[in-house]
Chain A
Amino acid sequence: MKFKLAFAGPALTGIAAACLFVTAGTALSPASVAQDANADARTLRPAASFQSIANEQERSVALFTEAGKVIQHPRCVNCHPATDRPLQGASMHPHQPPVFRGDGGMGLPGMQCTTCHSAENIPVVGQADTVKSIPGNPAWHLAPIEMAWEGKTLGQICQQIKDPARNGDMTMDELVEHMAHDELVGWGWNPGAGREPVPGTQAEFGELIRAWVDTGAACPAS
Chain B
Amino acid sequence: MTLHDITATRRGFLAGSGLVIGVAIAPKMLAAAPTGVQAGGDAALTPMNAFVKIGTDDTVTVLSKHIEFGQGPFTGLATLVAEELDADWGQMRALHSPTDNKVYANLSFGLQGTGGSSSIANAYEQMRKAGATARAMLVAAAAEEWGVPAAEITVEKGRIKHAASNRESGFGAFAERAARQTPPAEPRLKSPEDFVLIGTELPKLDTHGKTNGTAIFTLDITPDDLLIAVVAHPEHFGATVKSFDDAEARKVQGVVDVKQVPQGVAVYADNTFAALKGRDALSIEWDLSKAETRSSEELAADYVRLFREPGLEAANNGNVDEAFKAPGLQTVEAEIVFPFLAHAPMEPLDAVFIKAADGSVDIYNGAQFPGMDQTVAAQILGLDETKVRVNTQLAGGSFGRKAQFGSPYMQEAAAVYAASGANRPLKHMWTREDDIRGGYYRPMYAHRMRGAINAEGQITAWEQVIVGQSIMGKADLDETSVEGASNLPYAIPNLKVTSHNVPLVVPPLWWRSVGHTHTGFAVETFVDELFQKIGRDPVEGRLALLTEKPRHAGVLRKAAEMADWGGQVPEGRARGVAVVESFSSYVGQVVEVSVGPDGAPRVHKVWCAVDCGIAINPNVIKAQMEGGIGYGLGAVLFDAVTLGKGGRIIQSNFHDYRSIRINEMPDVEVEIIKSAEKPTGVGEPGVPPVGPAVANAWRSLTGAPVRQLPIVNIVSA
Chain A residues proximal to chain B, CB less than 8 Å = 1-7, 21-22, 25-26, 83, 94, 96-98, 125-131
Residues of chain B within 8 A of A2, CB atoms compared: 282-284
Q: Which chain B residues have a beta carbon within 8 Å of chain A's beta carbons? A: 230, 232, 235, 242, 273, 275-277, 279-280, 282-289, 431-433, 597-598, 644-646, 648, 650, 652-656, 658, 661, 663
Nearest opposing residue in chain A for B295, CB measure: A25
Q: A6-B288, A125-B276, A126-B279 are in contact. Are A21 and B655 (CB under 8 A)?
A: no
Hey, which chain A residues are within 8 Å of B288, CB to CB?
A: 5-7
Task: Please report the C-alpha to C-alpha distance between residue A129 and residue B644 in the assembled complex, in whole angstroms.
Answer: 15
Q: Give the residues in chain B near A21, CB-CB below 8 Å.
A: 646, 648
Q: Check B232–A131 contact: CB distance below 8 A.
A: no
The reply to whether B277 and A94 contact each other, CB–CB distance below 8 Å, is: no
Q: How many A-B residue pairs have CB under 8 A?
A: 72
Q: How far is the CA of A45 from the CA of B663 in the complex (A)?
A: 45
How far does the alpha carbon of A21 sit from the alpha carbon of B658 in the complex, in Å?
A: 23
Indicate if the CB atoms of B277 and A4 lie closer than 8 Å.
Answer: no
Q: Which residues of A contact B287 (CB under 8 A)?
A: 6
Q: CB-CB < 8 A to B286: which residues of A? A: 3-6
B242, B433, B597, B661: most-surrounded residue (chain A CB, <10 A): B433
B652 is contacted by which of A22, A98, A130 (Cβ under 8 Å)?
A130
The answer to whether B598 touches A94, judged by C-beta atoms less than 8 angstroms apart, is yes
Q: Give the chain B neighbours of A130 by CB distance below 8 A.
A: 652-653, 655-656
Complex Cα distance, B235 from A25, in Å, reads 14
Secondary structure of the A side of the interface?
loop
> B280 contacts A3, CB within 8 Å?
no
Find the B residue at minimum CB distance from A18.
B648
Q: Beyond A3-B235, A6-B287, is A25–B645 a contact (Cβ under 8 Å)?
A: yes
Using Cβ atoms and an 8 Å threshold, which residues of chain B touch A131? 653, 655
Q: Across the interface, do A98 and B432 meet the contact criterion of CB distance under 8 Å?
A: no
With A3-B235, A21-B648 given, is the CB distance from A96 to B285 under 8 Å?
A: no
Complex Cα–Cα for A126 and B433 (A) = 9
Task: Point out the residues of chain B lying under 8 angstroms from A7, CB to CB.
Answer: 288
Which of A1, A25, A97 is within 8 Å of B232, CB to CB? A1
Complex Cα distance A22/B642, Å? 12
Contact for B655 among A3, A83, A125, A128, CB less than 8 A: A128
Sample of 17 A–B contacts (CB below 8 Å): A1-B279, A1-B280, A1-B284, A2-B282, A2-B283, A2-B284, A3-B235, A3-B286, A7-B288, A22-B645, A98-B663, A126-B279, A126-B431, A127-B431, A127-B432, A127-B653, A128-B655
A5 surroundings in chain B (CB, below 8 A): 286, 288
Q: Which residues of B contact A6 (CB under 8 A)?
A: 242, 285-289
Contact call B283/A98, Cβ cutoff below 8 A: no
Closest to A100 in B: B663
> Which residues of chain B come closer than 8 Å to A97, judged between CB atoms?
661
A127 / chain B contacts, CB cutoff of 8 Å: 276, 431-433, 653
- Given A94-B598, A97-B661, A131-B653, CB of A126 within 8 Å of CB of B284: no
